[in-house]
A and B are shown apart, each in its own frame.
Chain A
Amino acid sequence: MTAIGDHAPAFALPDTEGIMHEPGNAPATVVVFTCNHCPYALAWHERIVGVARDYADRGVQVLAVNPNDAERYPRDSPEAMRVRVETGEFEDVPYLYDESQRVARAYGAKATPDVFVLDAAGVLRYRGAPDADHGDPAQNAAFVRGALDAVLDGRDPNPVETPPVGCSIKWKS
């Protein structure tokens, strides 16, 4: 489990085209554990994509990772991921498949969504929900944006951690 101030675990995971992605080589990186079937993940999805869009010119990298057991939850299968990507739901955000669930376990992810913001050195600087209310689009992923602004300006985020809110990660039995 990764705590605030720890170096986040390195990983390389495939997107829906099989291209490998890894965090790093960016002034800040957002790793968001998400999925297809969870209403919380879906409710927050456009706000996460909006973060990627709005911070692209500052070099921020956003990686979406689906860690769920696709056998028990077929809606979270790689095929279903590909359909969402092909319909443009992720714009330029790579949608990665954590089939072994090792990355989710290494990060200590609990839910979808669960957001981790890393600085340029790969140190975890924020972890938790995208913002305070999945039902209010005006919140606009304020926790993530605030954390990115802080990291990019060399400050500590406030808050540094919030409870993740969403569907439990569907671990393999």
Chain B
Amino acid sequence: MRVELLFWEGCPSHPKALAELRKAMVDVALDPSTIVVREVETQSEAALERFVGSPTIRIDDVDVQPPGEEPVGLTCRVYHRRDGRISPTPDPADVRDALLAARTATTERK
């Protein structure tokens, strides 16, 4: 399973997002040291990566909160917590559920 966190330095939310991602991985018995952290620095990189904002977390190339029609760009990403609050980081419960779903899919493929 490939877990990636993509970030843009202009947005201050990635340290919190990474900490919450690490905790979520521990919670579901996955190794947080396997997280791949990558910086997106330019608009062209953002386009290449289909990066719609910082932070973006992908598990096996699937976004933990699929961005729909969001335009690519160097910006802070808007997430919605499960209680409706707007947040700069995804809801940890959504991250945990995405990890569990990916782990189940990986197990079923074997």
Contact = CB atoms under 8 A, between A and B. Distances in A.
Interface in B48-78: 73, 75-78
A135 interface: yes
Interface in A137-173: 137, 165-168
Query: Main SS of chain B's interface residues?
Result: loop
Nearest to A167: B76
B10 A167 contact: yes
Given A39-B79, A42-B78, A167-B75, A135 B85 contact: yes
B30 interface: no
B15 interface: no
A125 interface: no
A134 interface: yes
Interface residues of B, number: 14
Contact of B76 (A39, A135, A137): A39
Given A37-B75, A39-B87, A165-B12, 8 more contacts: A39-B77, A40-B76, A40-B88, A73-B73, A135-B87, A167-B10, A167-B11, A167-B75
27 contacts: A37-B75, A37-B76, A37-B78, A38-B76, A38-B78, A39-B13, A39-B76, A39-B78, A39-B87, A39-B88, A40-B76, A42-B78, A42-B86, A43-B85, A43-B87, A43-B88, A73-B73, A134-B88, A135-B85, A135-B87, A137-B85, A165-B12, A166-B12, A167-B10, A167-B75, A167-B76, A168-B11
